A and B are shown apart, each in its own frame.
Chain A
Amino acid sequence: MRDANLSGMNEQETDVIQGTLDMLILKTLSLEPMHGFGIARRVEQISRGVFKVNPGSLLTALQRLQRAGWLDAEWRQTPNSRRAKFYTLTRGGKKQLEIETADWTRRATAIARLLKAEG
């Protein structure tokens, strides 16, 4: 697998799998509070460029998660002294992350097992 950062037109690059964006955001924020662009970049980096986050979808998802009470938002200074809206995981958010992770693992194992059986 090539490094996605080297090429903007990478064909391996895909949009985030439907329904997993929330989980990815929660997971990313469980490490530390972050602003929107930070989250996008972290998702791309950790997935080694497999997942590309659409800014519109990301900001809307943040809006939704905040409304659901899983995130708190606050305008703060960035390390390079710009103002940015930082998101923090709430206790409800942590619980939600556990639920979604467990759910995802269960489904992923099931799919893996299916594929193996066919092979």
Chain B
Amino acid sequence: MSLWRQLRQGLRGLLNGAVVDRDVADEVQQYLEEAAAAGMARGLSSDEAQRAARLEMGNMTVVREQVRSYGWENAIATMAADLRYAARQLRSNSGFTIVSTLTLALGIGASTAIFSAVNPILFEPLPYPHASRIVMIWNTYRGARSEVAFGTYRELKERIRSLDTLALFEPWQPAITGAASPERLEGQAVSASFFGVLGIAPLLGRDFQTSEEEFRGPKVVILSDRLWQRRFHGDRTIVGRQVKLDDDNYTVIGILPPAFENVLSPAAEIWTPLQYDDRQLATNFDSWGWGNHLRMTGRLKPGVSIAQSARELDQIARTPWKEFPRPRWASLQNGLTVDSLQDDMAQTVKPALLAVLGAVILVLAIACVNVTNLLLARGAQRRGEFATRAALGASRPRILRQLVTESLLLASLGGALGLGVAVAGVRALIALSPPGLPRLDAIAVDHVVFGFALGITTLIGLALGLIPALHVSRDDLLVGLQQVSRRTAGSRSSTRSALVITEVALALILLIGAGLLLRSMQRLLAIDPGFVTAHLLSLQVQSSGHQFDDLPSAPGAGSRARRRFFEQALKGVRRVPGVEQAAFTSLLPLSDDPPVTGVYGAHFENDDPRGGHSVFRYAVSPGYCQTMGIPLRSGRFLDERDSGSAPPAALISESLARRQFPGQDPIGKRVHVGPTDRPWYSVVGVVGDVKQTSLAINEPDAVYLSTEQTWFADEALSFVVRGRGDVAALASAVKSGVWSVDRDQPIVRIVTMDQLLAVSEAERHFVLTLFEAFGLVALALAAVGIYSVLSGSVTERTREIGVRAALGASRASILALILGQGMRLTSLGIVIGLCGAVAASQTLITLVFGISELDPITYLGVIGLFGIVSGMACWAPAWRAARVDPSVTLRAE
């Protein structure tokens, strides 16, 4: 009731100001008349009564004002007046307003866009109930995290107390066949408890049950909403029906909600239970259940910290129980690592994100410094105005409020425009983002991001207003009135110089970062991957279906069928016009093939039985090295002679040869790769080293075997095709070549090697692009800052310069004077910036490659660039100063 009345009457005061004014005036007048009448009634004369009444009342205007100023609406009215005045100020200075607004929009927009990308990864809780309780548990191998075995999971599940639930998962890529073209789906094979750990329940149907985890248990799948819509058009009756995956019938038991976001595997669309034979675990260490190829996640009990859980896991790792025997490679002797899911997910991208976040904060700081500078320059021009207002009775807080209103208005304009910049920036970020960036779908300008933009806009508005305001109150306001000449350049210009120095320093830090990244990228791209990437197309072909199963009834038949299929497919590809050379490999360099699946132990005849090497095993067709352009160092390449019936032959990489057989000829030496109970492979040739995971990583130990002579037939092989000109144009013909053999085999990842090379460095490239963009913006802003300060200073010093000229200073010496002033500011900024850059480069250490983070070429180059740019920025004001005509300036006063 009362609130309503407040609102109504306040609005009346606001909208009907004149009526309320008159009402108050009438009441005051009437009070006075009544008082006078009362005086006369007491026997005073009319004049005396009037006088007494006025005396009692005091200043009528003040009383009216006092009565009128009651109510919330008056605060608004004052604010509105301030705003109107501020808007008028900004409009009358359109040049200043446009430059400041654009600068702020750039700063706010860029930082908002970056924040929107960083927030879901580093700050926002993951989209699961009590997400902070979800953890990842890893085995530890050579100090790094590595996958766990099913056997380890089974032991932990029995023993661990700090976790509620525990689940395993691994990639699963079934081929779906049916009416449409065969498609390889991205999916996961998971423990029945997987969705329970995440706290997600299917929207339709049900979750997995423990009984479905049993060895050779029922074949069931849960679909993502996306797959359900795409492949089954959202048909609700699909639940309970069967779909054909890899030649088997799977029953669809559930559909996940559309909002479900799977940070553990963003592309996964289909899930099936992991089915392991746990009766074999204790007796047979060679069973699948002891392969370290699974990832493990769990949910902490409420109130249990990660540290507590880590202690318990450590204790379990150190004290094996005899009912849970462990093989050597899953002995847990290096302990287990536990980490929150969020940290785990962000781990690889965190340094890059923090570097980018730091860069954008620098840009924002430079933008703010620049606008502050402009505001100060304007403050100098408005001195007289403030003095007048003070003289008319405006209090200091009142003037301060006016200034803050103005800067808030300016910041709001910048913020509004900045949101537009942010929306465009987010789109660009998503387009630029490296494939490893998690939670890409969660990057958007949502309410949190909007709040962030609003927050920084307000902060900037307040800060921008307060700095010039402090200057106003520091000056004696009345002195401002008397001051008409511009003879002195006071503390204001020293503040402005300090701001420019800051700006230069900040921009220098950014540019050094950009320079280091640029040089790293150059170094990286100059690295020889070990093969010729140009004119090389690759496509991964999968073999799926029961015809490839190795059944006990016909041992080896499935593998033979698999090898036959790939050989025929290769012949089909070689027949395609335009294909010059073609071959296949089990492991494609620089691809996202998980490296761990290609690493095996290699034992040479002269090795210690317990020693050996971890090597990449490439199972290849004849002609693979020739197609790739991997050079032969000695011996011969693998060729058609190395068939299944011929003596096993192997190629080794030159680094491996050099280390294993220093000063000897490795040809003819014998080696085991993988299982040691098979015939020895003889080394027939030595080939050049190849970069497998990334250009930056040097893991040169490799063994090449013929696919016909390896101990198992790989399910998926990568074809490499060398042609002339644009090999990407060959893609569809090559695909048909494969499908001419078997229409049902899915083909995935068709990509040129040049593209793969770019993708393998995408993260570095992403950071580099952003740093370059931010660095250029910073450089431009710093140049504008130097220019505006110098040009302001030249205006203030016109008279002094005139005197100098009149006393005989040459144009050259005046030019040198002003240029010197500008360059002094720049060099001070550079010196401070260098210290900052040395400190800041520590944060870039993980992204810098092949150079020191104190790379002198980068530092000198950036300093040189700065010198040139600031020289250009100084030139115009200096030139203007040199042309000052003493007779004009001296007469002007």
Contacts and interface: CB of A to CB of B under 8 A. Distances in A.
Interface of A: 5, 8, 35-38, 40-41, 55-56, 59-60, 63-64, 66-69, 78, 80, 82-85, 92
B27 A56 contact: no
A36 B70 contact: no
B399 interface: no
B67 A63 contact: yes
B17 to A, nearest CB: 15
Contacts of A92: 1-2
Contact of A56 (B5, B23, B35, B58): B58
A69 B34 contact: no
21 contacts: A5-B42, A35-B31, A35-B34, A36-B27, A36-B34, A37-B34, A37-B35, A55-B58, A56-B57, A56-B63, A59-B63, A60-B67, A63-B67, A66-B9, A67-B5, A67-B9, A67-B70, A82-B33, A83-B30, A84-B34, A92-B1
A41 B23 CA distance: 22
Nearest to B26: A85
A37 B70 contact: no
Contacts of B23: 85
A64 B30 contact: no
Contact of B70 (A8, A64, A85): A64
A40 B70 CA distance: 20
A63 B70 contact: yes
Contacts of B62: 56
A36 B31 CA distance: 6
B38 to A, nearest CB: 7
B71 A35 contact: no
B57 A84 contact: no
DSSP majority for the A interface? helix
B38 A37 contact: yes
B28 interface: yes
* Chain B CB within 10 A, most for which of A5, A59, A68: A59
A55 B38 contact: no
B67 A69 contact: no
Interface residues on B, range: 20 to 34
Interface in B236-282: none
B66 interface: yes
B56 interface: yes
B6 A82 contact: no
A85 B26 CA distance: 9
B63 A69 contact: no
Nearest to A64: B70
A61 to B, nearest CB: 9
A78 B27 CA distance: 13
B387 to A, nearest CB: 31
A68 B27 contact: no
B83 interface: no
Contact of B37 (A55, A59, A64, A80): A80
Given A41-B38, A67-B70, A67-B71, A55 B27 contact: no
Nearest to A63: B70
A66 B52 CA distance: 29
Interface in B585-609: none
Nearest to A84: B30
Contact of A59 (B2, B27, B35): B27
A73 to B, nearest CB: 9
B5 A69 contact: yes
Given A67-B9, A67-B70, A67-B71, A59 B34 contact: no
10 A-B pairs closest in CB distance: A37-B34, A56-B63, A59-B67, A63-B70, A56-B66, A37-B31, A36-B31, A69-B2, A85-B27, A55-B57
